[in-house]
Amino acid sequence: MPVEQREDTVVWRRRDKRQAVIHWFVTLGIAAVVLWCFKLIADDTTWEFVWSAPEQGADLAIRMFLPEWFVDIPQLWRDGELWVHVAEYFRQRGLYAMELWDPLVDTIHIATLGTVLGVMIASPLAFLAARNTTPSTTFVRPIALALLVTSRSVNSLIWALLLVVIIGPGMLAGIIAIALRSVGFCGKLLYEAIEEIDENTRDAVKSTGASGMQVLTFGVIPQIAPAFAGISIYRWDINIREATILGLVGAGGIGMALQSAIDTLAWGQVSVIFLAILATVVLSEWVSAKARAAVT
């Protein structure tokens, strides 16, 4: 009882004495577990590598962004040749950036088509999974839920790995990988939106003698339309980011360019790819934010 009598005032505390002691021990226990985990991780770490990380990172950054003639800059400046080198530096990178245009567009295609396909599969599943629209809670609902969980628990990179083996490398594998991962995400959010609809409205449509499909199109879908649009756009934005790495396993897009640049130790190209990805992601997030604001 958190209310205590002290002389002639009634004192209210968040916890009584017993609860406070329990609370204290639980906090201590959690702290101990955290420390113990930290020790496990520390024992498992090769600290030499960690200490040399700043050095290695700097080295990589230099190889990516600084040209070979960097050390000669004072000399080049005196010879009046610096600008030639600078111009050449940007020309090369610019040329390479143009080469990236096609894989970049492929990446956006993979993300967009994957999202569309994913949402198309997710929508019916969501209606089967939502408690208030499923035809059977004992049989159909668990199956739909299981499918959604399966889709969600496998990363799209892993879906892509599998699909590249099954249908061969290329964009199609990427599109399907993105779609399969999106099904779980969109399906889950969508069925939660369906479960939150106003049942009165649905009852009102039902009570006019409307058929099952009419109840769905008049009583349910208008209520979830904003959520549906918001979820799809949000997932598209995530998929742009996911699609950039699918090429690492051969599923098309800019990741393939990244892979070959890393394989040939062309660090200059890697830096251009990073910048291109960054620009695309920023742009897609902006589009997504605007579009979502417009539909809700």
Interface residue list for other proteins (CB under 8 A): 5, 8, 10, 198, 200-201, 203-211, 213-214, 217-219, 222-223, 225-226
**What minimum distance in Å lies between the beta carbon of 283 and other proteins?**
30
Of 227 and 249, nearer to other proteins (C-beta) is: 227
**What minimum distance in Å lies between the beta carbon of 219 and other proteins?**
7
Of 181 and 202, nearer to other proteins (C-beta) is: 202
HEC-encoded secondary structure of 139-154: CHHHHHHHHHHHHHHC
**What minimum distance in Å lies between the beta carbon of 205 and other proteins?**
6
Of 166 and 213, nearer to other proteins (C-beta) is: 213
| Residue 64 neighbours by CB under 8 Å, 6+ apart | 267, 268, 270, 271, 274
**What minimum distance in Å lies between the beta carbon of 237 and other proteins?**
24
Distance CA 115, CA 236 (A): 6
Of 195 and 285, nearer to other proteins (C-beta) is: 195
**What minimum distance in Å lies between the beta carbon of 149 and other proteins?**
28
Of 136 and 208, nearer to other proteins (C-beta) is: 208
Of 46 and 138, nearer to other proteins (C-beta) is: 138
| Residue 131 neighbours by CB under 8 Å, 6+ apart | 137, 141, 195
Cβ atoms of 254 and 100 closer than 8 Å:
yes
Closest CA to 124 of 88, 148, 158: 148
Of 2 and 222, nearer to other proteins (C-beta) is: 222
**What minimum distance in Å lies between the beta carbon of 187 and other proteins?**
22
For the record, the structure tokens of 261 come out as: 């640049």
**What minimum distance in Å lies between the beta carbon of 263 and other proteins?**
52
